[in-house]
Structure 1
Amino acid sequence: MVHAVLIRRTGPPDVLELVDDYEKPTISDGEVLVQQVSTSVNPVDYKIRDGSLKPKSLPKVLGGDLAGFVTESKSSKWKKGDRVIALTEGFHWDNEENKYGSYADYTASKEEWLAKAPYGILLNILGGVPLVGMTAMQALESGNLKPGARVLVHGGAGGVGHMVVQLAKVHFKAYVVATAGPANQTYIKEELGADEVLNYKEEDFAEKYKDKPFDLVIDPIGGVVEDKSYTVLGQHGTYTHILNNNTNEDKIKAGKQWKDRKYVVILVQPNGKQLSIISGYLENADIKLFVDKIFWLKDIREAHEYAKKQHFRGKVIVQISHEE
């Protein structure tokens, strides 16, 4: 029996229950068992917890971000002791298999979800990479970008946003404009490498860029921001919406009817090949994971409260064990 955090019902953070009698997951052919060092808190986690996204079955172990050591393998690709990262399907509200939930000492993963952890970066924080890194990569890929393409990313300082800015520059060779509050202007420009940063509290991006359209707009915010984003989208551009509380089904249906422009909705999918590319960039210091705060698994309720209420840079990490 091992430790895990699960929910037996949806509601406020106090429904998060740390138990010590969780059965260590069993694995099937093509899977590995991973001893977790860290995971993270993503918006999808607290939305499942509070019932905004209805879990298919309860009790449920939350989380899909994985970083740790392979302890058992039924895979020809991975062996015991390998340092790995992955996004599992544990993050998804429709997934009934708790063995993939990552708020636990041990997590199972399919072999094709795994990537080698970047050398030189502790697993203590690498649990913050998979979901946001691949959301960013898949959102950017939706635009079929060519070098020099113009990309607008809203919320450039956040978990997904800070990865979008960096990968857009490094992997896609794009011209990147990011929106952020006044406190994050220098951070996004100098640390993340954006070409331009717009202070959304002082400037209207729709007005500033009405004559400088974008090839791709990535929007994790929605609502009014979505409506305005249409006005700065090029004639053959792509608007990519990352699922959030402002997701509007009517707008999605209308967007699917666009002729020349493209409307895309992103729900990230596990993909070890993509994650390996991201891991390589991290290992070579071409991109960085920015960590706002680290909580221990026993403090998961506090971590959820912090992640939902605070405006932070990068990621909120949940550490489960140590990598020295």
Structure 2
Amino acid sequence: MTDLMSDTDLAELNGEVIEAPSRSVDVLPPSVSDKVAALSVLDGESQARAVTALLSHSRTGLLAAIAAQDLPGIVEFKAKAAGVQEVAKQLRLAKDMQLDAAEFVRRAERGVGVGIREGQADGTILKRGEKRHPRSNQFGVDGDTVSTKSAPSDFVKMDDLSGTGSSAGIYAMVDGVAADQFEVALAEARAESNLSRANVARKCKAKTNPPLADPVPDTPRPEPDRGAPKPFHGFKKNSTEMLDSINHMLQGAVQTLEFIDADEVDPAQRSRIRTELFTSLNVIRKFMKEVSCDR
């Protein structure tokens, strides 16, 4: 079926896939149906390769945004993740491909939740109970201070964050959930071929609330501190997670190389790009010496 598209059409399609991620990146067109229509003329293998490239490209952008603690960027790539998942679903790609897309969505959602909780911790995002605008009456403002902080709902709908009814919210994959616990929960959900948010959230809860052992006789159980906040495990405090995210980001970049024709790189840009790449590689090599296994 690939003969239905010219070489130029395919090149333009691949070109769209491999453009460097940025805040204004158009990995997906405004309508997911447009992307599905563009890919539907390809054979199954070509569709899988194109969606794999979309996933790799978007995952690289997401990890870069998380590493930079760029919450608006994380929110943007969360939307991209949902779009890629819908494309994979509508094209009826292989189960593994759809699971890859669903896993990406869960990671993007946790990234947003972590970013919001970190913003609340450092005072840039409103916490529960804080007011954004002052109350007023017939005599004017009653003394409350106008807050210039963002609200969590500026980034994600509150129903998605907290969940409604039986639906799990993003916070269920964040609050009190360490990075390694989330990874284990995600792996277990994938093994069940069920990466819905509700299933991943249930498994996160099971990791954070283990059964209590029987207390030692005559040993009183300490009273919990009702006012103490739940523990929060943020991204920026975990050097291992940050380094592993860079690792995944580089893997995604390497996978994208197969879609790049070296002869088609703009000669006017080659010198600059090569210099910047070599500079980055040298920094990575220098750092990796500090992370040697014999330390």
Q: TM-score, normalised by structure 1?
A: 0.23
* TM-score normalised per structure 2: 0.24
Higher Cα radius of gyration: 2
Q: Identify the structure with the greater helix proportion.
A: 2
